[in-house]
Every structure is written in C-alpha cells, then in structure tokens.
Amino acid sequence: MTSALPLRRLGTTGPDVSALGLGCMGMSALYGDADRAESIATIHAALDAGVTLLDTGDFYGMGHNELLINEALRTAPAASRERALTSVKFGALRTVEGGFTGYDGRPAAVRNFAAYSLQRLGTDHIDVYRLSRVDPDVPIEETVGAIAELVEAGHVRHIGLSEVGAATLRRAAAVAPIADLQIEYSLVSRGIEAEILPAARELGIGVTAYGVLSRGLISGHFSRDRALAPGDFRGVSPRFQGENLSRNLNLVDRLREVAQGRGVTVAQAAIAWVLARGEDIVPLVGARRRDRLAEALGALDVTLDAGDLAAVEAAVPAGAVAGARYPEAQMAHLDSER
C-alpha cells in the first residue's frame, strides 16, 4: 500500500513531486561500499512511503546507479512504479580508473547520453534531465536546446540545471522552460541565498537541494574517528579534514542541543530547516539504508517555528563552516561559484 507525502511543484512548469526526494548516488559511488539488497529495499521503502522523486546521474558508478534504479522500479508494486519520477544528470566524462576528466554538453553528446540512460533505466522517458556541470566549451543555450529537442520527441519531460549561477540560469531560461536547479543547499552551504535563489524565484525555477546533510557531516552520525573507504569523497572533502572536521563537528554538537530540545534528531533538524526555506525547495536526501530513510522522512513531521529557526541558525551560523564544499579542482567546475 503506497502512502502519500506532501507535494511540492518543481518551479512553475515542472512536475509535482514528494516534498523530499531520494538521492541514489551513495548507493553506487562516492561514500564507500553500499549493500545492493539494502539499496533496493531503501528505494522500495521510499516509494512505499510516498517518495516520488528518484535522483541519479549516469556517471554514478558509471551506469551502476541507473541499473539499480531499473531493478528497483521493475520489482516495485505497479502503483508506486507509476508514480516514480526520474531525475538524471549527464555530461561527466570518466576514466576506467574512475577519474573525472571534464564535461561534455554538445548536442550530439546529449542525445547519446540520453539514449544510454533510457536503456539502462528501462523507461521510455526521463522526467527531469540535466547537465551535471556546465561544459565551458559549449554555450548553455546549445545544451538546453538539445534537451528541449528530447522533450519535443517525448524522451524527456522537463529540463533541469545543476550547479549553475544566476547568469546561466537566465540564459538557459531564455531558451526553454526550466523546471529546477539542482544545487547544494544546507545550513552549512548557504551560498545560493545571495543571488542564485532570488534569480531562480524570479524565473519560476524550483530548487532541488542536495547535500542537505553536507554529505553526512551534519547528520549527527559522523564522528571524528570514522574510517573512510578508499575513494570516499569525504576523504578529500575539505570539510572532513583535520582541524576543519573538528570545528564542524563542534557546530553539530550545538545543533544537537537544539534538536534534542525539540525532540528531533540532528538530521531531522537539518532537513526541516531546508524544508522551511520555501515551498519551491525540494531537499534530496542521500539515504542508502532504510533506517536512515525513516529518519529523514521524519523531518516532514517537524515544523520549526520562528523561534526554532532562530535557535538552529544561532547554533550553526551562516558562514561558520570550516572548509569549502569541494576540493579546489572540483570547485573550478562550478558555474555557481563564479
């Protein structure tokens, strides 16, 4: 039996989606080994609970994540499968060793990436399709124009963007309707508030916020002595290193006090804070286990009033985090940071 969750619309032209989406990346990549059966059980539990938005990228485990979603959808009850919406990123160029070598947003590449994704997902369309990082050699108008042609052909339903700044938002929106911008947004990553979020709002573009737990840093479950597997993004993320990690976990301790006072967990307070930032924002949560998912969904039952929000922000003031959100080489790919 599928339940219902509150819905939010992705921008003025996008679909209605569950107020929390499930980000599937960690089930295939970047956070160490994941358990395949538990990953599929987590997707099923999410769909059962009423989550309709599944976020992935064709480069998450180089196709692995899309194949996992394919299997989860094939083995889910028909009712939840039919309500599920896929949000897919493309464009990252990979090496056999797993490295990232750049981004390809050329129209021919867009068509090629989409053909492979549809095959791996086992669906006849992708609900929201987006370039993961701007290709500096291809004007955004050309990439968005190519996705618009896929919309015209019925292979894609809506166009999204990822990690772009206000100027690129405007250029893209002049070509075709944009449903949402996917971008990092959390208590400790508030960079979008100055220009990008106001521009998205002016243009009627929704936000799917990722990293709402700062990749586990502000989940309440990360500790100073946690051993990370080789290849875990957190092993290179500036926020998880040495003195930065210590300072950041001190912020989490302060957030824990506020959360405990409200009878919620740290992760729930962090997710509820993002939910409270606007009806046009849909947090993606990177749960890859059912217990983590249940905790994250609990945030939908938490209403932070003005006093609670002030207490949360006093515990984790804007700009208090130590360390950039990506290593320097990856920061250079972020149009949103220019």
Among 64, 292, 325, 333, binds ligand NAP (CB under 6 A): 292
For residue 160, the number of C-alpha atoms closer than 13 Å in the C-beta half-sphere is: 31
List the x/- string, 154-173, binding to ligand NAP by CB under 6 A: --------xx----------
CB atoms inside a 10 Å sphere around CB 184: 21
Q: Can residue 284 be called a binding residue for ligand NAP (CB under 6 A)?
A: yes
- Using alpha carbons, select from 191, 180, 167 the residue that is nearest to residue 337: 191
The residue to which tokens 């969750």 are assigned: 5
Provide the token pair at 107. Answer: 């129209």
- 109 vs 287 by CB, closer to ligand NAP: 287
- 121 vs 287 by CB, closer to ligand NAP: 287
* C-beta separation of 51 from 80 below 8 A: no
* C-beta separation of 158 from 13 below 8 A: yes
By CB under 6 A, what part of segment 299-328 binds ligand NAP?
Answer: none
Question: Among the candidate windows 7-15, 71-79, 172-180, 212-220, which touches ligand NAP by CB under 6 A?
Answer: 212-220
100 φ, ψ to 5°? -110, 125
Torsion of CA 77, 118, 41, 50, to 10 degrees: -60
Question: Among the candidate windows 91-99, 149-157, 250-258, 289-297, which touches ligand NAP by CB under 6 A?
Answer: 289-297
- Using alpha carbons, select from 111, 130, 319 the residue that is nearest to residue 210: 130
Sign of CA dihedral 57, 62, 65, 66: positive
Q: Indicate the helix (H) or strand (E) that contains 107.
A: helix 107-121
Q: Least Å distance between CB 154 and ligand NAP?
A: 24
Question: Among the candidate windows 18-26, 36-44, 199-207, 309-317, which touches ligand NAP by CB under 6 A?
Answer: 18-26
Q: Can residue 213 be called a binding residue for ligand NAP (CB under 6 A)?
A: yes
Question: Among the candidate windows 25-33, 142-150, 172-180, 194-202, which touches ligand NAP by CB under 6 A?
Answer: 25-33
Residue 210 annotated as catalytic: no
Footprint of ligand NAP (CB under 6 A):
23-26, 31, 55, 89, 132, 162-163, 182, 210-216, 219, 221, 267, 284-289, 292, 295-296
| Catalytic residue annotation | 60
